[in-house]
A = this chain, B = another copy of it.
């Protein structure tokens, strides 16, 4: 046997100990509950995709530099998915005739990017993907922004802790056309606008001049669609919405409405996530157009944001009760009682360590288990127990049959 193998995880990925998984499950459950409340259904796929799926972008950057791509033993090029959209596009193109449009679908995939790990960006992260397929028009865009808003509210954020920035690619494209730019120049200007917040006004203007050959003052006014979108969002109680004409979103596939959610915390002012409409999604499969609008929300950034606003839940054990037998003569009684409690809906562990009762109770407390119940001759004979609540130290005598309903009522109110 070789010895001394490292206990560290691979760089840029995370181990989830129970306290971490508790937080991850909380995030996933809020995502799932929010999406299902809007009538969305969950789908999923493998992380392994043929590399071909990612080779069709205007930019080759993703496949060449930032993905985990390798040859399998059958000499096929395989990629660990860096995003979910090509996968869902593939799945929809494959069953386009059978599926009942419009589709409201969501997924919580893990995604992989080979880049230097940094705050908010890891090599593996999980991302909620929500999409509405087969519906043109503003109502779908509106619903998608409403869902993004509802999720943040469900996590406990207030309207003044984030803002929703909206824009429209068509408006940008019209501006480029009015300026007389060709496709390549438009693309370059689009990239430049994306970086505007990171540049000084001087630098920005200099780069514009460099790009188009003259100084211009961009003065883009909201069009009818933007105004209608803002009005309708307000009607649904969503008023923390701002029109940001220079926002382009990185991906090339957006075709009209785009939006981005910003953290307004001055110490953490940044884009949290975003999405938009992308109607040309199925082009690469030679399939007919399907209108689509969607967004993605990553777990790393979200968790950091919730932490800055102190909105992450405290770890509580899913185990309701620890049974502490006085010694091994009571193991069978404990196992029998545990079986009955489980049937009544409790999560119950039995301490088989053989340690003293006091030590058993201490250990249960350290594990954040809320209740313990000790079993000796008296309890076994009389079927009467003393239930101890560890957070308060309070003890309560009751018939064994009352234990489950008592705990369920105390913990969950039913």
Contact = CB atoms under 8 A, between A and B. Distances in A.
A317 interface: yes
Interface in A268-289: 283-287
A314 interface: no
A46 B48 CA distance: 14
B363 A100 contact: yes
A42 interface: yes
Interface string A106-138: 000010101000000001100000000001010
Instruction: Kindly report how many copies of this chain are found in the complex they form together.
Output: 2
B1 A104 contact: no
A52 interface: yes
B348 A52 contact: no
Interface string A1-38: 11111111111011111101110110000000000111
Contacts of A105: 18
Interface in A341-362: 342, 346-350, 352-353
A324 to B, nearest CB: 12
Interface string A141-165: 0110010000000000000000000
B48 A93 contact: no
Interface in A33-91: 36-50, 52-53, 55-56, 58, 68, 70-73, 76, 78, 90-91
A322 interface: yes
A302 interface: no
A71 B114 CA distance: 12
A10 B43 contact: no
Interface in A314-333: 317-319, 322, 328, 331-332
A181 interface: no
Contact of A7 (B17, B237, B285, B342): B285
A226 to B, nearest CB: 18
A410 interface: no
Contact of A322 (B6, B39, B346): B39
B21 A44 contact: yes
Contacts of A283: 1, 3
Given A5-B53, A38-B349, A285-B4, A332 B235 contact: yes
20 contacts: A3-B286, A4-B284, A7-B94, A9-B45, A10-B76, A15-B45, A15-B46, A16-B45, A18-B41, A18-B42, A20-B43, A21-B42, A25-B42, A36-B318, A37-B348, A39-B349, A46-B110, A100-B363, A100-B366, A236-B335
The 4 A-B residue pairs with the shortest CB-CB distance, nearest first, are A39-B349, A13-B46, A70-B70, A7-B94
Given A4-B284, A15-B91, A17-B91, 6 more contacts: A14-B45, A41-B317, A46-B124, A68-B72, A139-B350, A237-B339
